[in-house]
Structure 1
């Protein structure tokens, strides 16, 4: 499904549970980090394997989208959820630019998984601080857009990865980065399961 006016494409994840426990929308980063990249691909897979109906978003971020980022992201997320249909539970997952959805999710009382949020933007930092519990925030200490104090002040669960950058990669340490990806996915799975139990 495509919306050429806003350069947004919405898709259902390839693995769809027969009786979903809820719906999850996965929103990518803003500089080409799509659901095809490891962090988001595996997040989608973890959620689907735990019974969530997953819908993903692809977008092209232009100047107009950047100028009205929160509304652009909210419209894309809503478009994805419209495809998913109604559900008892909704989970919002955002990576970087996708974390602009935090305020939109809060207004609806929906929990979120916020991967490498841009905490240097007050709108995002404030939305995470006001976030719905439970929720998860993940970032790395080598990411200049990360602020551990702001993340912890949110009251949400925080996974901070030492020496990881904005894509949660630790330079020169692929094995450690691989392990950190596993830790991140386990935290996502714990949150997703906790929403159902």
Structure 2
């Protein structure tokens, strides 16, 4: 049974690098990963934030049994209220911090969370991120995909920094999945 639930972005699936390496970090610590998949019934951008959150929660709630860690990218951060309600640690990759509904949900969290974003992402707010908790990776010049201008190697380096931040966060909070042989 899975203990890590991946919440993809609107156009960023679990097989893409940020979520893939976050999942690999959890798996390396004994985690069993499951990915949510959004069933599109409507254009979510047309819904008010509270309705978007309700819709995401309706998609996520059936997968929460046994989950001990949430990892979400962008649209997946609408799962923040569930993380707070269930006291789940979370890794939020490019969270939508210019949205009061998501920020309020994250503010209610008592479990640790890692926030990762870039200064060129209009949805990121580094000041808000640092107010939400001590675990923040902010990358100068990174956009919503955590890509930076210039040669591709620079964006690959950012991906490495994100993967290391996820590993460090999981180690710091003592995350050990069911296959970890710890206990």
* Alignment TM-score > 0.5, same fold: yes
Rounded Cα–Cα distance in structure 2 between residues aligned with 1:156 and 1:130: 15
1:23-62 alignment, distance < 5 Å: 23-30=3-10, 32-62=11-41
Cα distance per residue 1:49-87 (max 9 Å; x no partner): 2111111012244436553211222222222334xxx36
Of the three residues 69, 77, 80, the one matched with 1:99 is 77
Instruction: Give the TM-score normalised by the residue count of structure 1.
Output: 0.79
CA offsets, 1:101-131, max 9 Å, x none? 1111101111111110111110111222232
Give ranges in structure 2 of 5+ residues lacking alignment.
177-183
CA distance in 1, matches of 2:24, 2:55: 25
Q: Alignment partner for residue 183 of structure 1, among 148, 152, 161?
A: 161
How far, CA to CA, are the matches of 1:174 and 1:126 in structure 2? Answer: 35
Equivalent residues, number: 171
Partner of 2:87: 109
Normalising by the residue count of structure 2, what TM-score does the alignment of the two structures yield?
A: 0.84
Change (3 A) 1:166 1:48: same
Structure number with greater CO (CA < 8 Å, separation at least 6) is 2
Give unpaired runs (5+ residues) of structure 1: 1-19
Asked whether the 8 Å contact 1:168–1:181 carries over to 2, the reply is yes
Counterpart residue number, 2:181: none
- 1:63 partnered with 2:63: no
